Amino acid sequence: MGTFNLTIQIANLNGEHFEDVEVMVDTGAITTVVPRHILEGLGIQPTKRETFEYASGEQVQLDIAEARAQVDGRETITWVIFGEEGASPLLGAYTLEGVFLGVDPDNQRLIPVTGSLK
């Protein structure tokens, strides 16, 4: 597992205004985490709560919603977790798959990937 930081852009579903968010790319994270104040500032409200598990094994219920994300100039609609105070913003695999990018942890960069129909 490798980690590095980069800046992505997040907007509401209409894509009216994008906000920069510095995130940690973590190959173990599934869902993207964005600070609650950023999402609410964009007019994004939670649409449901789901159960997530921390590396420690602790399970928590967190608010999520759909948002528009831009990663390295590629755009997708994705699920985002409303990060609570002190939570690290993360770029998750679900969002990366939506923009057809993979992780090159050795060179700490994102690389284009081909979709698989296998």
Spatial distance between the Cα atoms of 83 and 65, rounded to a whole number of angstroms: 11
Top-confidence residue, 28 or 56: 56
Is domain 3-112 classified as CATH 3.40.630.30?
no
Region 6-14: what's the mean pLDDT? 97
Nearest to 105 by CA among 17, 24, 12: 24
**96 in helix, strand or coil?**
helix
Q: Please give the Cα distance from 59 to 8 (Å, whole number).
A: 27
Residue 102's SS3 state is strand
User: What is the tens place of the pLDDT at every residue in 34-55?
Assistant: 999 999 999 999 999 999 998 8
CB atoms closer than 10 angstroms to residue 25 = 23
**pTM for this model (two decimals):** 0.93
Question: pLDDT of 77-105, one tens digit each?
Answer: 999 999 988 889 999 999 999 999 999 98
Q: Which amino acid is at 81?
A: I
Of the pLDDT bands very low, low, confident and very high (cuts 50, 70, 90), residue 9 is: very high
